[in-house]
Amino acid sequence: MSDVSTPARVAIVTGGSGGIGRAVVERLAADGIAVVVHYSSNEAKAQEAVRAVVAAGGRATASGGDVADPDAMEALFRHATDAFGGVDVVVHTAGIMPLAPIAQMDLDTFDRIQRTNVRGTFIVSKLAAQQVRTGGAIINFSTSITRLQPPTYGPYAASKGAVEAMTLILARELRGRDITVNAVAPGPTATPLFLNGKTEQAISTIAAANPMERLGTPQDIAEAVAFLAGPARWVNGQVLFTNGGAA
């Protein structure tokens, strides 16, 4: 936990109501960071995460909104400041992953992926760049799919390639601010987003292909986020592939 003599740091975690986001919320709270749990539509799950943090002795609150809506995200950042006094860490886990071969994906789905994953990252990163305090950290989410490049992931991988580019450029644009900007790129991780639509055989095959012979867990990814949010002050402008050696 953080030293009681120092003001508590404050984090916003987008997509914090479930999966990797929920694990990140609980891991940052364990380090003494007050957490704003963002949700898109499932307020009940976000409030469940808040209750878990509070029950463990931490501080948390929930706030909803579409990450691709600038007004909603401005309200999210205001909520963090009103509740806890400011923002030190922004972890942007929110994203969507519809899959289809490029030849078969309709443009509406493609546009929805880019709207959430690219526009959403841009909006959250812009606000974070304006509001994160000195000594803070901005952590976006990419994916190891940008290296693995399997079929059906084309539009999703394209969106995360854009996320990586924005992340690395923003790190350079924040010169002199003492704010780190990095991206975490998980490999196959046992979350509902990843497991949805896959057979048990497919999941077992993917797990066996990893040198660690398992899927990642949300907690594995949360440890990498905690590292970048806290002690990793000399890691900046990087993409941290967190995948057990899969790529």
- Asked if the structure places residue 98 within a domain, the reply is yes
Average pLDDT over residues 133-142: 98
- Can you give the pLDDT at residue 7? 64
This prediction's pTM: 0.95
- pLDDT tens for 39-88 read 999 999 999 999 999 999 999 999 999 999 999 999 999 999 999 999 99
Judge whether residue 1 has pLDDT over 70: no
Higher pLDDT, 90 or 246: 90
Specify the CATH number for the domain of residue 169: 3.40.50.720
Q: Domain total for the chain? A: 1
HEC profile for the chain?
CCCCCCCCCEEEEECCCCHHHHHHHHHHHHCCCEEEEEECCCHHHHHHHHHHHHHCCCCEEEEECCCCCHHHHHHHHHHHHHHHCCCCEEEECCCCCCCCCCCCCCHHHHHHHHHHHHHHHHHHHHHHHHHCCCCCEEEEECCCHHHHCCCCCHHHHHHHHHHHHHHHHHHHHCCCCCCEEEEEEECCECCHHHHCCCCHHHHHHHHHHCCCCCCECHHHHHHHHHHHHCCCCCCCCCEEEECCCCC
Range of the structural domain that residue 90 is part of = 10-190+218-237
Q: What CA–CA distance (Å, rounded) separates 103 from 82?
A: 47
Is there a domain that residue 31 lies in? Answer: yes
CA atoms within 13 A on the CB side of 231: 5
Distance, CA of 179 to CA of 94 (rounded, Å): 21
Residues with catalytic function: 156
Mean pLDDT (whole number) for 89-110: 97
Q: Which of 96, 99, 72, 223 is nearest to 153 (CA)?
A: 99
Q: What is the mean pLDDT of residues 210-231?
A: 97
Question: Quick check: is 141 in a domain?
Answer: yes
180-201 per-position pLDDT tens digit: 999 999 999 999 878 888 899 9
